[in-house]
Amino acid sequence: MSVDKANLCDSLLTWLQTFQVPSCDSKRDLTSGVAIAHVLHRIDPSWFNETWLGRIKEESEANWRLKVSNLKKVLQSMLEYYHDVLGQQVSDEHLPDVNLIGEMGDGTELGKLLQLVLGCAVSCEKKQEQIQQIMTLEESVQHVVMTAIQELLTKEPSLEPGSPESYGDFDYQSRKYYFLSEEAGEKEDLTQHCRDLEHQLSLGVEERLSLQTEIRSLRERLSRSDSLDASTTAITGKKLLLLQSQMEQLQEENYRLENSRDDLSVRAETLEREVADLLQRNEELTSLAHEAQALKDEMDILRHSSDRVNQLEALVDTYKRKLEDLGDLRRQVRLLEERNTVYMQRTCELEEELRRANAVRSQLDTYKRQAHELHTKHTAEAMKAEKWQFEYKNLHDKYEALLKEKERLISERDSLREANDELRCAQVQQEYLKGTGDLSDGDVTVGNLAAEILPTELKETVVRLQSENKMLCAQEETYMQKLVKVQAELEEAQRSKNTLETQNRLNLQQISELRSQVEELQKALQQQDSKNEDVSGIICALALFFLTVNRHIFHSHGSPETSYSF
């Protein structure tokens, strides 16, 4: 019956957590070998003692090579425990690959390793306690754990400590354990081998002593049988022959055991010499193994240091590039410092200009007041222009009335002239008949005669009309002069009004432009927080405003003496 190693790993992790050892929360914690070592120490403290537990490095979480080293130590100690204490040999099928566990955290290989730990637990002296602890787990976990135990027990061949097969396979096992653990494991195997040989030798000596005692008892019985009666001799002859044959067999067996004892003594001496040599070699190999393990650990540390060195070299390259960038930044800083010096000078100049600008702020207030006065004057001039336009309209109406009256008088005059001409014709005809003198005198006479012939009312009417005509002509001339003067003033006022309206419109447009510029300057000041730009903007705005005021004053008064320069 086989079980899935990945599923087995999860179940055995649950079983290991019942030991309440540190760092046993997940499969990743088991890859360092520290938790497994603590569990083995709980299983058999006499074999997996504190000295052995101190060889397990607990600071191996960040280095997979140290993890592999810890796992190899744990696996080698478990194999020795199986061989020396439990008298069992672990098959190659159950041997895990600790490199995959330490480097990649392979669940299958970790399951094999935990299965060996489970075998140690259920085969040790406290196996009843361990089995009772397993029975407290969940049913599914119990089923997986029991299946793993059956698989491990059915595939592990038992091995008696003193059997000859173990001696024949001793060198192979010791080499295999050595290469698996990369440490010295030959000393314990040789010691166990010597203990097995001594046990066999003591058994052979005890058997020889028992045979010698039996021979002595048979000889005593034989000596006592000589004194017996002949009858008893005949009866006991067959037994004697049987005993003699048995004695011969026992003597042969004794000779064989003595020869075997001599051989075993020679072999024991040879084995003792070999044990001495092996112990000496074991000490050398142990020292070499410790040196090799120390070198291996140092190699792991050096590899880790090499990785760290590679990282530091990459970091140094990065710092070199940053140092080059820093050189460029320093050059840029020098350029910026030079620019900053220029900007500081420019700032000083701008501050000086700002002080001058503060000095002319009073002038700006004056210009504002003047602009306000000009605006007031412009309003008064506009009112005057409206008044003049109203007077012009009244005069124009009077003028049209006078024109109508003039036309009426002209028509009346024309009718009077016709009547006058008719009278003159009648008088001329009378005078012609009498033969008057020259034309000039005749005219005066005709006029006088016409005046005499005309009735009194007509005369009065003519005189009145003539006087009115003269008065109207005088008034017409006066009104015409006034009209011309008023028209001139009206045209001048209209021109002034148009000029002021144009100037006002230009002023409003410039004011709106100045407001937009002021808003832009405020935004630029908030965004850049630059005092230089603020001062420059204020000066530019003041210059534009002063130019505008000068232009306005110049156009309003028409005289350069009233304008101001900035």
Instruction: Tell which residue, 4, 2, 1, 30, has the closest CA to residue 15.
Output: 30
Do 304 and 368 belong together in one domain?
no
**Does the pLDDT value for residue 174 go beyond 50?**
no
In the chain, the number of structural domains is 3
Model confidence over 390-433: pLDDT tens digits?
888 888 888 888 888 888 888 888 888 888 888 878 777 777 67
Domain range enclosing 278:
203-357
Other beta carbons within 10 angstroms of residue 297's beta carbon come to 14
Instruction: Please check whether residue 534 is in contact with residue 521, taking contact to mean a CB–CB distance below 8 angstroms.
Output: yes
Q: Of 313-317, 389-393, 549-553, which gets the smallest average pLDDT?
A: 549-553
The terminus-to-terminus CA distance of the chain in angstroms comes to 110
Do 402 and 548 belong together in one domain?
yes
Do 379 and 334 belong together in one domain?
no
Do 464 and 435 belong together in one domain?
yes
Instruction: Please check whether residue 293 is in contact with residue 183, taking contact to mean a CB–CB distance below 8 angstroms.
Output: yes
Helix, strand or coil for residue 228?
coil
Do 452 and 541 belong together in one domain?
yes
Asked whether residue 174 is domain-assigned, the answer is no
Residue 538 binned pLDDT confidence (cut-offs 50, 70, 90)? low
Q: What are phi and psi of 88, to 5 degrees?
A: -125, 155
Q: Please report where in the chains the tokens 């754990």 appear, as a residue.
A: 145
Average pLDDT over residues 290-319: 85
Stronger pLDDT, 113 or 514, i.e. the higher one: 113
Tell me, what's the pLDDT at 279? 84
User: How open is the CA angle 319-324-326, to the nearest 5 degrees?
Assistant: 85
Asked whether residue 183 is domain-assigned, the answer is no
Do 366 and 295 belong together in one domain?
no
Copy the structure tokens of residue 191: 């010691």
Looking at the DSSP assignment, which residues form a beta bridge with residue 88?
158
Tell me, what's the pLDDT at 131? 86
Q: Please report where in the chains the tokens 């361990």 appear, as a residue.
A: 130
Asked whether residue 495 is domain-assigned, the answer is yes
Last residue in a domain, options 104, 133, 159: 159
Non-local CB neighbours of 545 within 8 Å, separated by 6+ positions: 364, 367, 514
Rounded distance between C-alpha atoms, residue 405 and residue 401, angstroms: 6
Rounded distance between C-alpha atoms, residue 560 and residue 204, angstroms: 149
Copy the structure tokens of residue 111: 């399951």
Helix, strand or coil for residue 158?
strand
Type of residue found at 442: G
Q: What's the CATH number where 61 sits?
A: 1.10.418.10
User: What is the overall mean pLDDT for the chain?
Assistant: 75
Instruction: Tell which residue, 397, 381, 400, 562, has the closest CA to residue 489.
Output: 381
Q: Please report where in the chains the tokens 């099928």 appear, as a residue.
A: 93
Rounded distance between C-alpha atoms, residue 14 and residue 39, angstroms: 13
Non-local CB neighbours of 416 within 8 Å, separated by 6+ positions: 462, 465
Instruction: Please check whether residue 67 is in contact with residue 60, taking contact to mean a CB–CB distance below 8 angstroms.
Output: yes
Asked whether residue 289 is domain-assigned, the answer is yes
C-alpha distances out from residue 337 to 327, 331, 344, 374, 531, Å:
15, 10, 10, 51, 18
**What stretch of H or E contains 60?**
none
Q: Please report where in the chains the tokens 């230009």 appear, as a residue.
A: 506
**What stretch of H or E contains 47?**
none
Instruction: Please check whether residue 208 is in contact with residue 257, taking contact to mean a CB–CB distance below 8 angstroms.
Output: yes
Residue 342 binned pLDDT confidence (cut-offs 50, 70, 90)? very high
Asked whether residue 194 is domain-assigned, the answer is no
Do 268 and 410 belong together in one domain?
no
Give the dihedral sign, CA 405/408/412/418.
positive
Do 252 and 142 belong together in one domain?
no
Most confident region among 1-10, 494-503, 554-563 by mean pLDDT: 494-503
Tell me, what's the pLDDT at 413? 81
User: How open is the CA angle 352-358-360, to the nearest 5 degrees?
Assistant: 110
Type of residue found at 273: R
Alpha carbons within 13 A on the beta-carbon side of 499? 18
Instruction: Please check whether residue 48 is in contact with residue 41, taking contact to mean a CB–CB distance below 8 angstroms.
Output: yes
Do 368 and 239 belong together in one domain?
no
Instruction: Please check whether residue 257 is in contact with residue 207, taking contact to mean a CB–CB distance below 8 angstroms.
Output: yes
**Does the pLDDT value for residue 222 go beyond 80?**
no
Rounded distance between C-alpha atoms, residue 321 and residue 313, angstroms: 12
**Does the pLDDT value for residue 558 go beyond 60?**
no
**What percent of the chain shows pLDDT beyond 70?**
75
Rounded distance between C-alpha atoms, residue 190 and residue 274, angstroms: 10
Written in H, E and C, the secondary structure of 380-415 is HHHHHHHHHHHHHHHHHHHHHHHHHHHHHHHHHHHH
Non-local CB neighbours of 339 within 8 Å, separated by 6+ positions: none
Last residue in a domain, options 357, 385, 401: 357
Rounded distance between C-alpha atoms, residue 343 and residue 336, angstroms: 10
Q: Of 59-73, 91-105, 266-280, 535-549, which gets the smallest average pLDDT?
A: 535-549
Please state the length of the chain. 566
Tell me, what's the pLDDT at 348? 92
**What percent of the chain shows pLDDT beyond 90?**
2
Other beta carbons within 10 angstroms of residue 486's beta carbon come to 18
Looking at the DSSP assignment, which residues form a beta bridge with residue 158?
88
Rounded distance between C-alpha atoms, residue 78 and residue 85, angstroms: 10
Q: Of 83-87, 88-92, 184-188, which gets the smallest average pLDDT?
A: 184-188
Rounded distance between C-alpha atoms, residue 109 and residue 529, angstroms: 69
Model confidence over 263-299: pLDDT tens digits?
777 877 888 888 788 888 878 888 888 888 888 888 8
C-alpha distances out from residue 464 to 444, 458, 483, Å:
21, 10, 27
DSSP one-letter code for 88: B
Last residue in a domain, options 329, 357, 385: 357
Stronger pLDDT, 226 or 283, i.e. the higher one: 283
DSSP one-letter code for 124: S
Asked whether residue 269 is domain-assigned, the answer is yes
Asked whether residue 556 is domain-assigned, the answer is yes
Stronger pLDDT, 201 or 324, i.e. the higher one: 324
Rounded distance between C-alpha atoms, residue 287 and residue 110, angstroms: 31
**Does the pLDDT value for residue 67 go beyond 60?**
yes
Tell me, what's the pLDDT at 193? 66
Do 453 and 493 belong together in one domain?
yes
Instruction: Please check whether residue 496 is in contact with residue 386, taking contact to mean a CB–CB distance below 8 angstroms.
Output: no
Q: What is the pTM of this model?
A: 0.33
Kindly write down the DSSP assignment for every residue of 52-63, as one continuous string.
HHHTS-S--SS-
Do 383 and 498 belong together in one domain?
yes
Instruction: Please check whether residue 113 is in contact with residue 94, taking contact to mean a CB–CB distance below 8 angstroms.
Output: no
Most confident region among 125-129, 246-250, 455-459 by mean pLDDT: 125-129
Do 546 and 416 belong together in one domain?
yes
Tell me, what's the pLDDT at 432? 67
Give the dihedral sign, CA 396/402/408/409.
negative
Rounded distance between C-alpha atoms, residue 354 and residue 360, angstroms: 10
Asked whether residue 189 is domain-assigned, the answer is no
